[in-house]
Amino acid sequence: MTEGSSTIPEIFESRKRKILAELSVPDAEYIDLSPKGSVDEGIRDLIHDINILPGLVTTSSCAGRISVFLEGRKKQQQKLQDEPERQFVASGGKGAGKWLYVSHDPLEGYDALPGNKGGSGEDVQEGEKKSLHELFGMLPGDGKPPGLNKQGKAPRLVRFHFEPLILHIMTASLHHAHPVLSAASSSGFRESGLQSLRCLEGDEGPSPIVAVRSAGLSLESVIGYCEDDETDDRASDEPVIRSFVTEEYLRMLVAIANERFSVNTERKERFRQTLLNVYSDTPGPKTKKKTKPPGWEDSQARRERMRTEGLMRKKLLEEQARKNEDQETGQATETPSLG
């Protein structure tokens, strides 16, 4: 490999500085285009570890999520003469639809199945928890699939999703993209690849973007529909969203999603360790020394440092509390002089 193939172009460094400046904005002020509007807590450490590596910077991410989504309705297009009539047409599209529920963490307390401990459904009510129907904003139905509405349109469906981690990493060159792809594939994210060949073009220089992803963990199930009487694609009142599955079925979906959250977390950590090991064991793009990037520390060292700092803060607070207590005791035992 030639010397030039490992050099980081200045245009990439400029792009990286801009992205890192946006990520450094305080959480209260940071907004992005995701439903959550900010970086997921469960992926912050991974993003930090990637962004301190030379030649890499993250552009978008999702740590994994459970979601319940009500489809939108696309504008009616003119039907071709020989096109068959379809009862359910793909709906939605950019900006269409509505998120009924989104969580980037497992749904605790709802995943007990019938026959297991707590599987009767009573555990769901402890602590005044909502049922999953309430949590997802749905009313129980009769289990029957919906028909066409008064306008002859198929109903908008409600879908339950589990989506695993997806991460987009901009790289300085194909040379820098190779270890990312290798680490992703060996960690279980087998559908990873370059996001688009267009990222290899451009007058200002290429910046290949690697999409780290695993479709094998994904889960989707249709669980309900929207009872709306639409006129010109506008609803006069808030539509009723009705389920056609049972509470037990929803709990089964949650149990499956929670298990996949666990596998997703394991793969995410394996990818992190594999990628960092590649960069710590081989020369970096700009240096011939086998050195770790500045500020790098593995997860065990980070946990130990945070534990030590926490113990020191606790000790200081305890010492301060004892001093305050001693001062208050001394003042209470003093008696005025009788002269």
Tens-digit pLDDT profile for residues 291-314: 555 556 666 676 676 677 777 777
pLDDT, tens digit, for every residue of 65-112? 999 999 987 665 555 555 555 555 455 444 578 999 999 999 988 866
Nearest to 105 by CA among 134, 162, 132, 66: 66
Nearest to 212 by CA among 59, 96, 1: 59
332: which DSSP letter?
Answer: H
Furthest-apart CA atoms within the chain: distance in Å: 114
Tell me how far apart the alpha carbons of residues 277 and 292 are, in angstroms, rounded to a whole number. Answer: 9
Which range, 50-54, 138-142, 198-202, is most confident? Answer: 50-54
Q: Determine how many CB atoms are found less than 10 A away from the CB of residue 153.
A: 16
Pick the more confident residue, 220 or 288: 220
Confidence label for 243 from pLDDT (cuts 50, 70 and 90): very high
Tell me how far apart the alpha carbons of residues 172 and 209 are, in angstroms, rounded to a whole number. Answer: 9
pLDDT at 169: 95
Write down the residue that tokens 């207590």 correspond to.
Answer: 325
* Residue spans of alpha helices (H) in the chain: 10-23, 44-51, 122-125, 132-135, 174-186, 247-281, 299-333
pLDDT at 300: 65
Predicted TM-score (pTM) of the model is 0.68
pLDDT, tens digit, for every residue of 13-35? 999 999 999 887 655 444 444 55
Is the distance from CB of 281 to CB of 290 less than 8 angstroms? yes
Query: What's the mean per-residue pLDDT of the chain?
Result: 77
Tell me how far apart the alpha carbons of residues 158 and 168 are, in angstroms, rounded to a whole number. Answer: 28
pLDDT at 132: 95
